[in-house]
Amino acid sequence: MGKSRKIRKVIRSKPTIEGAGVHLKRAFGFSEVPQFDPFLLLDDFRSNDPRYYIKGFPWHPHRGIETITYVLRGDVEHGDSMGNKGVIASGDVQWMTAGSGIIHQEMPKGDEKGTMWGFQLWANLPASQKMMKPRYRDVKDNQIPEVSAGEGVKIRIICGEVKGTRGPVRDIVVDPEYLDCTVPAGSEFIHPTKPGHTVFAYVIGGKAFFCKEKNPFAYEIEGANYSDIQKDAFVRNENLVLFDDGEQIVVSTEDEPVRFLLMSGKPLREAVAWYGPIVMNTKEELRIAFEEYQNGTFIKYRNA
């Protein structure tokens, strides 16, 4: 067995409003750079009330990053400056590489009951590929393999490999892993991780112990204060665990199952210049991007 990772930090996601008025929970973002390198942001836009998401994310630009949208319930309609349009439906993933620049919109519609559950992750691009041609990987629910990892553990593999089965999203620069893991009650799940990679888990249901750590004072809990800190060390829904380095993680459950998104990637260790939806390496590159957006030269590639 390899060296198990320890918990570096537990973060409680924070309410915020984005787009034209979408209420969501932000697990991490601008203020956490570079702790999550190569990742920049994780938003949880789960809601059962259309008033909180229906205004959506109207037309806006991206450059220098990849946005990964994973929908569990409901539909998200999308369109872009290259002429692409479609729907990200329940269970689907859209892995969009903005590269040199794209202008798009994402409009959550929910399901017939008004439920909209989804997550968006931003991954950085290295300087050498920030101006690459934009591309999409639209992955349908039935294209995402699910494997059993023993003791009733189920894993949907969006990106990465588990027990010889690879996810459909491949050839991504930061060598990412993106898994949707469900661990039943009374179980232990051990998953290998690549040393040197940034690894974190975002709990989306139930509760678990991570790294066999049962002392909540053994690590930093961001977003908690002394009056509401939990007396146990279970990590629960809408909480994120950032791990120290190591060769594996250990997840343990007791009386409840847990479901979490597990993500990892190779750090870029490059300067980050970030303003709104554009992430470059220098302030000058940011200035050029917004100047091009204003004068109509932002888009470098268009579909024929």
pLDDT value for 304 = 44
What percentage of the chain reaches a pLDDT higher than 90?
86
Domain presence at residue 104: yes
Range of the structural domain that residue 23 is part of: 7-295
Summarize pLDDT for 263-282 with one digit per residue, the tens: 999 999 999 999 999 999 99
pLDDT value for 303 = 66
Q: How far is CA 177 from CA 72, 165, 247, 280, in A?
A: 18, 12, 14, 23
Summarize pLDDT for 112-125 with one digit per residue, the tens: 999 999 999 999 99
Nearest-angstrom CA–CA distance, 71 and 45: 9
Summarize pLDDT for 160-215 with one digit per residue, the tens: 999 999 999 988 878 999 999 999 999 999 999 999 999 999 999 999 999 999 88
- The chain-wide mean pLDDT, for the chain, equals 94
Nearest-angstrom CA–CA distance, 87 and 78: 6
pLDDT bin (cut points 50, 70, 90) of residue 227 is low
Q: How far is CA 187 from CA 10, 102, 154, 216, 231, in A?
A: 21, 44, 12, 21, 22
Strands annotated E in 63-142: 65-73, 75-80, 85-88, 93-97, 102-110, 117-124, 135-139
pLDDT bin (cut points 50, 70, 90) of residue 111 is very high
Domain presence at residue 87: yes
pLDDT bin (cut points 50, 70, 90) of residue 229 is low
- Contact between residue 10 and residue 27 where contact means Cβ atoms under 8 Å apart: no
Identify which of 296, 209, 214 has the alpha carbon closest to the alpha carbon of residue 253: 209
Domain presence at residue 304: no
pLDDT value for 231 = 58
Domain presence at residue 182: yes
pLDDT value for 122 = 98
Summarize pLDDT for 12-48 with one digit per residue, the tens: 999 999 999 999 999 999 999 999 999 999 999 999 9
Number of folded domains that form the chain: 1
Phi, psi for 271 (deg, rounded to 5)? -65, 145
pLDDT at position 55 over 60: yes
Largest CA distance in the chain: 59
pLDDT at position 59 over 50: yes
Average pLDDT over residues 42-68: 97
Domain presence at residue 303: no
Domain presence at residue 2: no
Nearest-angstrom CA–CA distance, 198 and 207: 22
